[in-house]
């Protein structure tokens, strides 16, 4: 089935889009750009590769979307009040999102994270005023989940626990925004959505909206190949606590990506496309390219969209001070 080239929307008559004046920084969340991947996979005829750049969110990652939705929904139904502290487990990006949103809305935030998360994430979250609580680094994100559950069970009146792994507001955020944006940005021509699995919220919510528009859209999830891996933010589902919001039966396919392949693709995205992104983005692009190559081998066209969750700066370690 042939596909016409996806075109960018036209600018206004003056040549620029009008700039909105916002009441709150929270209004910046979403409406992130979709960019054509032009060099990687350029040899594949009839296949278009696109990446949704989620680091354009104010907190620098895709996690701004579910964090804001979970907080808004909890404020609306009374589960979150001004006298409670938002607490959740996080490997970094969701913590940054909670931190800046809490500061913007004048809400207290406490974060439980593995002690070995990058210094950049610790500095960013604490800069917004969040309280940091460290869990055993050897237990990874699952250890942080267990620790936050202990704290909430011990003092339930003090905390509001969004629980990003079980909260249906997480995929709902992507159902309401990410999926709708991708459909509009591709002019309804998207054929495949390829996305990494962390909490599962992004792939589930976005996929549901896209399939609501067209059942022909294929939903492909990406996970690390190895239980012990270097693709921060992604879960190896067979050996992890499976998030309650994750429904593997809704997927059309799941791809396993090695750490080396994900890291190598991160280098390619930087050097060939000018996209300085994290390693989970590299893994997602490996998956997207794999689908593109398959379509090319079969002589079929397609519009493949993947999602790049964040920028690489969040993973940088500051140099040690000279003594």
How far lies 126's CA from each of 120, 121, 123, 185, 316, in Å?
Answer: 10, 8, 5, 36, 17
Q: What is the DSSP letter of 60?
A: S
**Residue 36 structure tokens:** 């054509």
- Tell me if 231 sits within 8 A of 197, measured CB to CB: no
- The DSSP-derived string for 159-196 is EE---TTT-THHHHHIIIIIHHHHHHHTTT---EEEEE
Closest C-alpha to 170, from 247, 102, 47, 71: 71
Q: Which of 61, 89, 240, 280 is catalytic?
A: 280
Distance CA(235)–CA(225), nearest Å, equals 10
Q: Which of 52, 63, 122, 235 is catalytic?
A: 63
Residue in the structure block whose two tokens are 């949704």: 52
The vertex-87 CA angle with 241 and 55, nearest 5°, equals: 80
**Residue 222 structure tokens:** 């990406």
Catalytic residue check, 89: no
* Cα dihedral across residues 23, 26, 28, 31: positive or negative: negative
Catalytic residue check, 280: yes
Residue in the structure block whose two tokens are 């699952």: 142
**Residue 61 structure tokens:** 């990652």
- Catalytic residue annotation: 63, 280
């Amino acid at each position: 089935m042939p596909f016409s080239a996806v075109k960018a929307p036209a600018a206004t008559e003056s040549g620029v889009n009008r700039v909105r004046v916002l009441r709150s920084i929270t209004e910046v969340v979403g409406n992130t750009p979709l960019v054509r991947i032009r060099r990687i996979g350029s040899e594949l005829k009839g296949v278009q590769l696109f990446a949704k750049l989620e680091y354009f969110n104010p907190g620098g990652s895709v996690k701004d979307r579910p964090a804001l939705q979970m907080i808004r929904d909890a404020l609306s139904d009374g589960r979150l009040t001004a006298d409670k502290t938002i607490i959740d487990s996080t490997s970094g990006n969701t913590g940054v999102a909670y931190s800046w949103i809490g500061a913007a809305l004048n809400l207290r935030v406490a974060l439980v994270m593995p002690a070995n998360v990058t210094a950049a994430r610790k500095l960013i979250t604490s800069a917004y005023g969040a309280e940091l609580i460290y869990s055993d680094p050897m237990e990874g994100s699952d250890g942080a989940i267990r620790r936050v559950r202990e704290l909430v069970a011990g003092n339930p009146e003090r905390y509001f626990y969004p629980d990003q792994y079980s909260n249906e507001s997480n995929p709902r955020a992507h159902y309401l925004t990410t999926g709708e944006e991708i459909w509009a940005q591709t002019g309804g021509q998207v054929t495949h959505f390829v996305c990494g699995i962390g909490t599962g919220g992004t792939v589930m919510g976005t996929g549901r909206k896209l399939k609501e528009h067209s059942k022909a859209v294929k939903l492909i999830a990406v996970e690390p190949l190895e239980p012990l891996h270097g693709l921060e933010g992604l879960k190896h589902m067979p050996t992890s606590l499976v998030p309650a919001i994750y429904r593997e039966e809704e997927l059309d396919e799941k791809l396993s990506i090695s750490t080396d392949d994900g890291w190598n693709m991160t280098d390619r995205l930087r050097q060939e496309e000018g996209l300085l992104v994290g390693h989970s983005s590299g893994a997602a692009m490996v998956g997207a390219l794999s689908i593109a190559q398959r379509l090319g081998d079969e002589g079929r066209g397609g519009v493949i969209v993947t999602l790049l969750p964040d920028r690489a700066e969040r993973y940088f370690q500051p140099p040690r001070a000279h003594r």
